[in-house]
Amino acid sequence: PLEVRFQLPQRDAFELRRQLADSAGDMSSITAHLSVPGLAGSAGGELAGRLNFLGSRVDTGTSTVQASATFDNPDGEVLPGQFVRVRLEGLKRFDVMAVPEIAVTQGLMGPRVFVLDDESKARERTVQLGDVAGPWQIILDGLEPGERVVVGDPAGIEPGMEIDPVRFDGDAEQLVDDVEEAEAQEQQEQAEAAAEMSEGAGDAPAEGEEGAQ
């Protein structure tokens, strides 16, 4: 196996330590992904491994904490001293505000979401984005606790539009699947309608053709 040492930002390391404390130090839920520029192989040149160490000291010069992970290294493709990138999957975020990523669109003033006012009318709100955690987008600024955010597909929503709200069940992955399925269905219906119009136009006789000698 290959052992790779890398540096985690201080905040990520603190939250990871909190996550490990909640799971009695079990690191099995954290998957490490290693990629090497130009590495040929399966999964697009990416190796999967496990986190096996998280340091307890912060480097004051870089505000990072040392960590390490182990990877299977078939055929010795990754060499000692080689430059690699490590990405951790399965990290939890604590005490943050997040919305389904699909709820965020790009407005004139930057990233935005729609919130509902007391009359259930959509109001545009510019937000500052943090990290993406799976189907969730962390919001650093622009929203207040308790505000109602439109989490469905924002396509077609305009400021001032009245919306009949339905409580979100919290399953962001299912929400994304539902929206993608609805979009695919709509595209299929549009394609079928266009095909029917094309067939109808082909069957119609040209003007002035009937009775021509």
What phi and psi values does residue 188 have, to the nearest 5 degrees? -65, -45
> Per-residue confidence at 204, pLDDT binned at 50, 70, 90?
low
Domain boundary (42, 64, 89) is at 89
Look-up: residue for tokens 């990877």? Answer: 71
Instruction: Compute the mean pLDDT over every residue in the chain, rounded to the nearest whole number.
Output: 83
State which of 23-27, 93-97, 108-112 shows the largest mean pLDDT.
Answer: 108-112
pLDDT at residue 120 in the model: 93
- Same domain, yes or no, for 17 and 68? yes
In a domain, 24, yes or no: yes
- Give the least confident one: 5-14, 31-40, 78-87, 152-161: 31-40
In a domain, 11, yes or no: yes
In a domain, 74, yes or no: yes
Number of separate domains in the chain:
2
Sign (positive/negative) of CA torsion 193, 198, 202, 204? positive
Nearest to 179 by CA among 155, 196, 161: 155
- Same domain, yes or no, for 41 and 121? no
- Torsion angle (degrees, nearest 10) of CA 171, 175, 177, 178: 130
In a domain, 206, yes or no: no
pLDDT at residue 67 in the model: 93
- Same domain, yes or no, for 185 and 107? yes
Residue 12 has pLDDT above 90, yes or no: no
Residue 65 has pLDDT above 90, yes or no: yes
Residue 83 has pLDDT above 90, yes or no: no
- Give the least confident one: 5-9, 86-90, 140-144, 171-175: 171-175
Distance separating alpha carbons of residues 40 and 20, to the nearest angstrom: 34
Contact 91, 15 (CB under 8 A): yes
Q: What is the CATH number of the domain that holds 15?
A: 2.40.30.170
Residue 106 has pLDDT above 50, yes or no: yes
- Same domain, yes or no, for 106 and 183? yes
- Same domain, yes or no, for 71 and 123? no
- Same domain, yes or no, for 40 and 112? no
In a domain, 210, yes or no: no
Domain that holds residue 118: 96-198
Domain boundary (89, 106, 135) is at 89
Nearest to 105 by CA among 68, 152, 148: 152
Average pLDDT over residues 126-134: 87
- Same domain, yes or no, for 80 and 101? no
In the chain, alpha helices (H): 10-22, 172-203
